[in-house]
Amino acid sequence: MYRIIDIETENTGADVMEDNKRILSVQIGDDTKQNLYWADSGDPRWTLESAKNEIASLLSQGVVFAGYNIKGFDVRFLKQFLSVEIPETNIFDLCLCQSQRLIKLTGKNRPRLEDACRACGVKVTHKQKMNEKAQKYKANETFKKLALTKAKELVKNKGWSLDFSYNYVLDKIAGGNAIYDAYLKFVKSGGQKNTLFYEYAIGDVISEYNLLKALGY
């Protein structure tokens, strides 16, 4: 029995792994039911502590938590920020278990979730609104200067081209700021489901579960 587990973090910096400040939300579910737990919830049903309780309950039932890059991201930060440890036997990482198949399907060595979903006919339209929101941050001169500084470090440390490094870093900074801004609006709304943050976070759960099914699981 599979359930998708996915998190959103507060990260407005250039490094998606090292600049995380906290977990904003934990999403758990499949294509029919999804729960979103969030850091600033005033409702005890949807706090991060409640997320920990649901994870423990599902583990006791033998549920396998699946997701895209959950070993490299979600599982790591669940342990770091919430002291939640998911056993290796209860983790199914789609981008690792199906790496060669996804590379062949997408034509990319490191396909993103969007690439994998599109190659398998799974909708990821929820990403578009957040990508559009990120555009205003890409046009921000302060963020552009920060991206250039960080890009030069990548050129030196990784040997990437300056143009690739700059666009890579600017994407991360803009995307992180867009998500965090959407989260703050979600908090202000009291956790309304018709907000961009909710649609984005839950959209990942649904698309990852549908990708799981499209790959034959």
Indicate the CATH number of 2-214 among 3.30.390, 2.60.40, 3.40.50, 3.30.420. Answer: 3.30.420
CA distance 10 to 20: 6
For 34-53, the DSSP string reads EEEEETT-SSGGGSHHHHHH
Q: How far, in Å, are 7, 21, 94 from residue 214 at the CA level?
A: 22, 34, 11
Give the residue extent of every domain in the chain.
Answer: 2-214
- Please tell me whether residue 203 adopts helix, strand or coil conformation: helix
pLDDT in tens, 3-24: 999 999 999 988 888 999 999 9
Give residue 98's pLDDT band: very low, low, confident or very high (50, 70, 90): confident
Determine the longest span between alpha carbons in the chain, in angstroms: 51
Tell me, what DSSP letter sits at residue 66? E
pLDDT at 97 over 80: no
CA distance 112 to 77: 19
Q: What is the pTM of this model?
A: 0.93
> In the chain, what percentage of residues exceed pLDDT 90?
88
Give residue 100's pLDDT band: very low, low, confident or very high (50, 70, 90): confident
Strand 34-38, strand 2-9: pairing:
unpaired
pLDDT in tens, 132-186: 999 999 999 999 999 999 999 999 999 999 999 999 999 999 999 999 999 999 9
pLDDT of res. 101:
86
Please check whether residue 6 is in contact with residue 56, taking contact to mean a CB–CB distance below 8 angstroms.
no
pLDDT of res. 108:
87
